[in-house]
Structure 1
Amino acid sequence: MARNIRQAAVIGSGVMGASIAAHLANVGISTLLLDIIPKDVTEEEKSKGLTLDHPAVRNRLATKAIQRLKKTKPAPLFDSDYASFITPGNIEDDLAKLQDVDWVIEVVVENLAIKQQLYEKVEQVWKPGTIVTSNTSGISINAMVEGRSDAFKEHFLGTHFFNPPRYMKLLEIIPGEQTNPEIVEEMKQFGEKTLGKGVVVAKDTPNFIANRIGTFGLLVTLSEMLEKGYTVEEVDAVTGPAMGRPKSATFRTLDLVGLDTFVHVAHNVFEKVEDEQEKAVFNAPSVLKNMVEKGWIGEKAGQGFYKKIKNEQGKQILSLQLETMEYGSQQKVSSPSLEAAKTAKGAKNKVKALLSGKDRYAELAWNITKQVLLYSAEKVGEIADTIVEMDEAMKWGFNWELGPFETWDAIGLTRSVEKMEAEGLTIPKWVKDWIADGNESFYKKENQQTFYVAEGSFTAREEKPEVIHLRSLKEQNKVITSNSGASLIDLGDGVACLEFHSPNNAIGADILLMIQQSMEEVRKNYEGLVIANQGRNFCVGANLMILLMEAQDEEWDEVDNIIRMFQNTMYTLKHFEKPVVAAPHRMALGGGVEVCMPADQVVAAAETYYGLVEVGVGLIPAGGGCKELTLRLSQSVTNREVDIQPYVNQIFENVGTAKVSTSAADAKKLGYMRPTDTFVTNPDHLIFEAKRAALRFVQDGYTPKPEEKIRVVGRDGKAVMQLGAHQMKLGGLISDHDQLIANKLAHVLAGGDVPAGTLVTEQYMLDLEREAFLSLCGEPKTQQRMQHMLTKGKALRN
């Protein structure tokens, strides 16, 4: 069972402490944010007659931190209103309030003595049973609570969040010697289910798991670079997606983290390990230390390994030339091995292709990879109990697509070890023994179950019921029906899942046909339908290429047929006699939103970026998006005396500016989702929760949604919206074509030229959408926008 934590306290309101408080607020936990009392009164406070004794002054650090959360980018809060869950305070006046919370998180400066002094104070007010944790990134968990009572130690552990806490999946839990194992398990469950984290249990060793391996990898990369004379851009070309790593690769990552922070993390290991060879690796090279001394510490200082400048060509990013320590233009990097990796599909094939090459970039990749793999193998049992925790820590903490042992399997365990030995490298004994026993990989799959090596034999990996893998279900022959764009998959318990798998999950005739076939199948043989997939993004909209081709060929009947098919499919889905639950994640745009709107409920991933963005390509929503927004408004304002014009104006602004939500919570605030729609913090649990929602509809006795009339603002309301667009045009904020699109959007949202307050049908609104869409497809400037989006991947303002 996950521990029930409803109230928490965070001590330390710096960037990390405030961001952790923000994420607790995101999941509805009331949080007390404490910091020290300032030593001085600011000029602004003096002008208000405030002294050091005033609560506003004493709580200033925490109060300012909460205010910053509302403005920080990327946003730490799902919705700026969630800041109301955080209460500012200070350590001297408010420490006794810790008796009211379920969890205390310490996030003060990384200094052992300061932490020990704080825990001494905390224990004086500590309520037995309250969890106390440290967010330390490397200080010993056991050392921090020396001198504390046994009861306190039993409830104390490390909870190392990665920055920024809202977005980074990894949470390392580090038990102390006396931590109660039940509490470790409870906090692990809480981290996964409530906070939405990928949790690994680490041992109390310097820098724990991810920072230990990640820092080692970055340092050996630097060493190879300096020894062999590679450039900054060459290293980043090799150590990014070609190796299954993020685009930020090595040096953009260092610039983002901050070179000062990285040197501190490396020094922490350097000081604490005893092996001289390991110590030498963690002694940061002089070039890094010199850059820190110069203040060239990365993005926060405006320069590090890269530097942004403005010149006649606009913005330019220069790279550091290490031999001269001057910045210059970046050079394009290419080679056969990099091209092979680029064209290979999937991380396993990419890294295999890169390391199979014969050029100097393949050599660099191999020299880095072999050291990271051997180091990881040496640390099994020391920094983590199993290879699973190490692999997951690197994937969740450093955004690697493959952990070290998954990488080893991908490139061939036995073959790569033979190569390492031929180069004179020492292989850890357990790895050699494992191979000698006839094993050729660290992981294997049998009977749909994954096994991994642990203590000399294959051990079954824990299967969590909350985690549903569509790929695994396909391997188990659970596909009911399928075509090139989508598949219907049996989730069990009478629920089927409609999965998109077209390029970018863009909606074309194949997906629409599969939606229709899915309804037929569910009608006959299932109780409910979930619409979900596990692609990078849920759906980026309709297939723009097909629309553009038909429009350029002036095949207007064909365009009309495409839109009618979309509209009719969504209308049927909305009034389907079985419950439908949509489960979007990440980008759900345009047609992706219109697929979700007919569902009885949307169960979204918390990180869902949701919006009707058709105006960006010179069009308006025509798959029922405009109709649904006006219908929901009509349903929510039942009093005919209430003027709905302001609400329609807001819809007009959101759709007309292609506004995209910054989270699922923000999508509700914008009105794209309903109050009854929900979100899930852990995306791994999304399909499980959507399936549960569908089953709840069944258990409650589902009845299909009836056809409803829509109250519209009519011609007078249209005039109001069009006047707003005209004023924006006069102010130079929009182009002539923007105004044309806005006028057509206003016509649709207003319900056309009928009198205000007229009740119209859903089909009437769909007809207005389709007519406006078709007329815009014929506009040359719209076709230019569509072409630009397809070729450049961004909107054209023409």
Structure 2
Amino acid sequence: MTIQGSRRSASLIRRAAVIGSGVMGAGIAAHLANAGMRVLLLDVVPQALTAEEEKQGLTLADARVRNRLAAAAVGRMGKAQPAQLYDPAWTARIMPGNLADHAAELGEADWIVEAVVERLDVKREVFAAVDAHRRPDTIVTTNTSGLSAASMAEGRSESFRRHFAVTHFFNPPRYMKLVEIVPTADTAPEVVSLLREACEKRLGKGVVIAKDTPNFIANRIGTFGMLVTLEDTLGYGLTVEEADALTGPAMGRPKTATFRMLDLVGLDTLLHVVDNVRERSENPGERAVFARPAVLERLVAGGRTGEKAGAGFYRKIKGKNGSEIESLRLDTLEYGPRRPVSSPVIDAAKAAKGTAAKAKALLLTDPRDRYARFAWSTIKKTLLYSAEQVGVIADSITDIDRAMRWGFNWELGPFELWDAIGLRRSVQQMKEEGETVPEWVEALLADGRESFYKTDGERRLYAAGSGYEREEQEADAIALAALKASGKTVLSTAGASLIDIGDDVVCLEFHSPNNAIGGDILSAIRRSVKEVEQNWRGLVLANEGRNFCVGANLMLLLMEAQSGEWEEVEDIIRFFQASMLDLKRLERPVVAAPHRMTLGGGVEACLPADQIIFSPETYFGLVETGVGLIPAGGGCKEATAMAAERALAPGGGKQAGDGDVQPQLNALFETIALAKTSSSGYEVGRLGLMRPQDRVIMRQEARIAEAKRAVLELDRAGYAPPPEKRVRVAGREGKAVLKVAVQAMRLGGHISEHDALIAGKLAHVLAGGDVRPGAEVSEQYLLDLECEAFLSLCGEAKTQQRMSHMLATGKPLRN
């Protein structure tokens, strides 16, 4: 890999090295391994033996001791929660070592990431060692959260400086989308492009280009927002609970809001960030804003640094009925029981649909309300500060908005939020209140531009200079919302829409509450099948919701069951089954592209597809037993068919054409009976729910585009729907084997009597009922077994209790 003016590909980055095996270093190493890279993980050599090492007779010269820190980090990866690796077996891709003994091996790395302590002197010392051993073309990056990139590269070789930049991963590296790339004046442009490609395409990240300023983009804006929220909480006399109720989902922010977020970040960490901005800022006003808040200093001085210390703005204590959360009283710095918060303003924000509507409700329901005035004050200050930073911390408003969405999980970035509440109206109010509005915002309004963003067909434009520029679209991304806004909707119901995504391919998007499958979605599926069959080359199943689909409409089923409307329940199941069969028998290719939670009915909607394109963060599982039921939308039928196909495939059974169904059936029965869910798209295969044609792509945002490509490839190959086949089943003997396992679990006290009842009915369906072993049955026969078992379980009081409990709490009930 050599930079010689020609652009090299990120696919050629095969070997990486990470220096520093702490939380961030280990997390980055794990995610590089997730991307298929071979990773060398290095740390310092320990200066003393542990008691266990002394007991084993080891010395400081032993490799096990010298590599201890990195080896321990690798050992923790397979058991970490949340999981760092998509597959625990991928720890084999990471080799632990130490910087003293293995520095020469840095010469084999295509990319070296430094992630040691946030001290400039220590980082410079590490980079001196790196510079001495790296290849001339090796890229070197630092994972600093705010130190000066230029200062770290001082004194290094020209080659090092041309290949050096910041890659600021957010924690945890696997799950957080944002990576801030910060080049220096010496960084070669092609290196920035290569890093961007590697982070986006190989690691599945969202990249923003930041300037080399204190704390870059997200932490700079986010920390400012936290500081002004703390200031206004004190100024308006609010409690921490009240402030969190107003600055969380009601404002389009995460549930952790402000003070819970501060506890998670660590109050000492926040003070470090505050100091970094204040000490490096040349703006007196900014230095005043980033002064150390007295309450934070007192809490940190007392060891109350947040969750890691067990106490911060909240603390957890053991009470009579288990753990209880107490909140800090800001006037006394003592703790007391959390107090509920409610008001018409908060209720209005909760009831509003969408972040823009919530923000308007929060600010405008009663502008004189103390809560509304507090919310306006914090939002106003954050918007103005963000506008002041354009050109300072980033060149465009889009990089600032993306950084806050991807790094702090805001639903809307500051400029998107400003548009949502009304740019001209809010600026007028700011000026009436004596605020100074940045000149470029004033100029934008004077020029007749009423918003920071506008749309032009399917693309979004953002305000830049004297006009608008096209927002750079993420590579391989298809935005359904933009397509709908440009009139590409083919048909729509309350729960789903069919959208033209180009090249004569359409996408069926679920958009019911939680994307739960009900009659509206099923009707859309059946209408879409007819439409696609007549007019389109193929169909993609995907959406842009928080989750792909959390299952069927449980509330509807429970209401019908409790009313004894058994014919209605059966009609719902038959309608579901028929809709899935329509998808499976569609004479055009169907490709599903699930993401995040894809549970129960969501899985059953994917299995009829000719191919499934999983995003890495897909949590996939047939979980119906958790609510006292079994899959009945074709899930059991498809599992039985998968077991038969694997048994008959070469290597799948005793021999090709004469496979033993039982081993495959046993594994799938365990997966479904225990309601197992994958912890990643890659783990779906280990659960037995991935077929040979299915695959995982690294970039979640590319899943719809990749599914579209798969549809077109199937179409070009001369697609024909799979013929209906009879399914070979294990029969009554296979069912007996499964029931013996269930009985053993019951006698061992591992499952309840009701669990055993559910598992017995599941065994009956998956084995194909009481037919002879090896019998071949129709798909409809298996669907009939599913329906019968489902109906009988719906009539069980304990199943109805489980359904009610899940609806009320979101958690399964064991009864």
TM-score (norm 1): 0.97
Q: Which of 788, 801, 813 is the equivalent residue of 1:784? A: 801
Please state how far the C-alpha of 1:743 moved relative to its aligned partner. Answer: 1.0
Q: Deviations over 1:461-512 (max 9, x none)?
A: 2245612111222222222222222222211112111111222222223322
Please state how far the C-alpha of 1:585 moved relative to its aligned partner. Answer: 1.0
What residue is the counterpart of 2:605 in the other structure?
595
Whether 1:609 and 2:626 are equivalent positions in the alignment is: no
Please state how far the C-alpha of 1:218 moved relative to its aligned partner. Answer: 0.5
Please state how far the C-alpha of 1:395 moved relative to its aligned partner. Answer: 0.9
What residue is the counterpart of 2:472 in the other structure?
462
Please state how far the C-alpha of 1:169 moved relative to its aligned partner. Answer: 0.9
On the 8 A contact 1:337/1:358 being kept in 2, the answer is no
What residue is the counterpart of 1:654 in the other structure?
671
Q: Which of 3, 10, 31 is the equivalent residue of 2:10? A: 3
What residue is the counterpart of 2:282 in the other structure?
274
Name the % identity.
59
What residue is the counterpart of 2:737 in the other structure?
720
Q: Deviations over 1:605-664 (max 9, x none)?
A: 211111111112211011111121221122112245665434322222221121111111
Structure 2 unmatched runs, 5+ = 1-6
Q: Residues 543, 293 of structure 1: CA spacing in aligned structure 2 closer, same or farther, 3 A cutoff?
A: same
Question: What SS is found at the alignment partner of 2:633?
Answer: coil
Tell me which amino acid in the other structure corresponds to 1:362: A
Tell me which amino acid in the other structure corresponds to 2:284: E
What residue is the counterpart of 2:577 in the other structure?
567
Deviates more, 1:456-465 or 1:24-33: 456-465
What residue is the counterpart of 2:783 in the other structure?
766
Counterparts of 1:70 and 1:464, CA distance in 2: 32
On the 8 A contact 2:10/2:202 being kept in 1, the answer is no
Question: What SS is found at the alignment partner of 2:17?
Answer: strand
Taking the TM superposition and a 5 Å limit, the aligned residue runs for 1:253-264 are: 253-264=261-272
Tell me which amino acid in the other structure corresponds to 1:778: G
What residue is the counterpart of 2:755 in the other structure?
738
Counterparts of 2:762 and 2:444, CA distance in 1: 66
Q: Residues 342, 206 of structure 1: CA spacing in aligned structure 2 closer, same or farther, 3 A cutoff?
A: same
Deviates more, 1:49-58 or 1:361-370: 49-58
What residue is the counterpart of 1:545 in the other structure?
555
Question: What SS is found at the alignment partner of 1:242?
Answer: helix
Whether 1:192 and 2:209 are equivalent positions in the alignment is: no
Please state how far the C-alpha of 1:545 moved relative to its aligned partner. Answer: 2.4
Q: Deviations over 1:307-340 (max 9, x none)?
A: 1122223222111112222211111112222222
Q: Which of 325, 336, 344 is the equivalent residue of 2:344? A: 336
What residue is the counterpart of 1:168 in the other structure?
176
Please state how far the C-alpha of 1:558 moved relative to its aligned partner. Answer: 2.7
Question: What SS is found at the alignment partner of 1:669?
Answer: coil
Taking the TM superposition and a 5 Å limit, the aligned residue runs for 1:632-647 are: 632-638=642-648, 639-640=653-654, 643-647=660-664
Counterparts of 1:114 and 1:198, CA distance in 2: 29
On the 8 A contact 1:668/1:675 being kept in 2, the answer is no
On the 8 A contact 2:625/2:672 being kept in 1, the answer is yes
What residue is the counterpart of 1:751 in the other structure?
768
What residue is the counterpart of 2:3 in the other structure?
none
Over aligned residue pairs, what C-alpha RMSD do you find?
Answer: 1.8
Count of matched residue positions in the alignment of Structure 1 and Structure 2 = 798
What residue is the counterpart of 2:135 in the other structure?
127
Tell me which amino acid in the other structure corresponds to 1:344: A
On the 8 A contact 2:588/2:719 being kept in 1, the answer is yes
Counterparts of 2:330 and 2:407, CA distance in 1: 28
Counterparts of 1:120 and 1:494, CA distance in 2: 56
On the 8 A contact 1:430/1:456 being kept in 2, the answer is no
Deviates more, 1:434-443 or 1:598-607: 434-443
On the 8 A contact 2:489/2:500 being kept in 1, the answer is yes
Q: Which of 355, 371, 375 is the equivalent residue of 2:363? A: 355
Question: What SS is found at the alignment partner of 1:670?
Answer: coil
On the 8 A contact 1:252/1:305 being kept in 2, the answer is yes
What residue is the counterpart of 2:712 in the other structure?
695
What residue is the counterpart of 1:514 in the other structure?
524
What residue is the counterpart of 1:488 in the other structure?
498
Q: Which of 475, 485, 488 is the equivalent residue of 2:485? A: 475
Question: What SS is found at the alignment partner of 2:10?
Answer: coil
Deviates more, 1:508-517 or 1:530-539: 508-517
Deviates more, 1:591-600 or 1:463-472: 463-472
Counterparts of 2:272 and 2:62, CA distance in 1: 37
What residue is the counterpart of 2:294 in the other structure?
286
Counterparts of 1:422 and 1:25, CA distance in 2: 55
Taking the TM superposition and a 5 Å limit, the aligned residue runs for 1:309-348 are: 309-348=317-356
Counterparts of 1:607 and 1:158, CA distance in 2: 26
Q: Which of 53, 61, 67 is the equivalent residue of 1:45? A: 53
Question: What SS is found at the alignment partner of 1:160?
Answer: strand
Please state how far the C-alpha of 1:402 moved relative to its aligned partner. Answer: 1.2
Whether 1:137 and 2:145 are equivalent positions in the alignment is: yes
What residue is the counterpart of 2:419 in the other structure?
409
Counterparts of 1:510 and 1:423, CA distance in 2: 49
Tell me which amino acid in the other structure corresponds to 2:758: I
Taking the TM superposition and a 5 Å limit, the aligned residue runs for 1:162-241 are: 162-241=170-249
What residue is the counterpart of 1:371 in the other structure?
381
Deviates more, 1:738-747 or 1:349-358: 349-358
Q: Residues 362, 11 of structure 1: CA spacing in aligned structure 2 closer, same or farther, 3 A cutoff?
A: same
On the 8 A contact 2:643/2:668 being kept in 1, the answer is no
Please state how far the C-alpha of 1:235 moved relative to its aligned partner. Answer: 0.8
Tell me which amino acid in the other structure corresponds to 1:34: L
Tell me which amino acid in the other structure corresponds to 2:10: R
On the 8 A contact 2:184/2:212 being kept in 1, the answer is yes
Counterparts of 1:304 and 1:465, CA distance in 2: 41
Counterparts of 1:771 and 1:758, CA distance in 2: 20
On the 8 A contact 1:335/1:359 being kept in 2, the answer is no
Tell me which amino acid in the other structure corresponds to 2:293: P
Please state how far the C-alpha of 1:457 moved relative to its aligned partner. Answer: 2.5
Counterparts of 1:301 and 1:652, CA distance in 2: 43
On the 8 A contact 2:613/2:706 being kept in 1, the answer is yes
Counterparts of 2:547 and 2:81, CA distance in 1: 21
Tell me which amino acid in the other structure corresponds to 1:650: A
What residue is the counterpart of 1:666 in the other structure?
683
Question: What SS is found at the alignment partner of 2:533?
Answer: helix
On the 8 A contact 1:538/1:584 being kept in 2, the answer is yes
Q: Which of 612, 629, 632 is the equivalent residue of 1:619? A: 629
Please state how far the C-alpha of 1:379 moved relative to its aligned partner. Answer: 1.2
On the 8 A contact 1:618/1:776 being kept in 2, the answer is yes
Question: What SS is found at the alignment partner of 1:424?
Answer: coil
TM-score (norm 2): 0.95
Counterparts of 1:541 and 1:447, CA distance in 2: 34
Q: Residues 640, 759 of structure 1: CA spacing in aligned structure 2 closer, same or farther, 3 A cutoff?
A: farther
Question: What SS is found at the alignment partner of 2:41?
Answer: strand
Tell me which amino acid in the other structure corresponds to 2:746: K
Deviates more, 1:748-757 or 1:396-405: 748-757
On the 8 A contact 1:319/1:330 being kept in 2, the answer is yes
Q: Residues 333, 553 of structure 1: CA spacing in aligned structure 2 closer, same or farther, 3 A cutoff?
A: closer
Please state how far the C-alpha of 1:288 moved relative to its aligned partner. Answer: 0.9
Q: Deviations over 1:674-705 (max 9, x none)?
A: 24322233222111111111112123332322
On the 8 A contact 1:597/1:625 being kept in 2, the answer is yes
Question: What SS is found at the alignment partner of 2:231?
Answer: helix
Question: What SS is found at the alignment partner of 1:529?
Answer: strand
Q: Residues 446, 759 of structure 1: CA spacing in aligned structure 2 closer, same or farther, 3 A cutoff?
A: closer
Counterparts of 1:255 and 1:463, CA distance in 2: 35
Counterparts of 1:380 and 1:775, CA distance in 2: 63
Q: Residues 233, 501 of structure 1: CA spacing in aligned structure 2 closer, same or farther, 3 A cutoff?
A: same
Q: Deviations over 1:5-29 (max 9, x none)?
A: 2211111110100000111111211
Please state how far the C-alpha of 1:223 moved relative to its aligned partner. Answer: 1.4
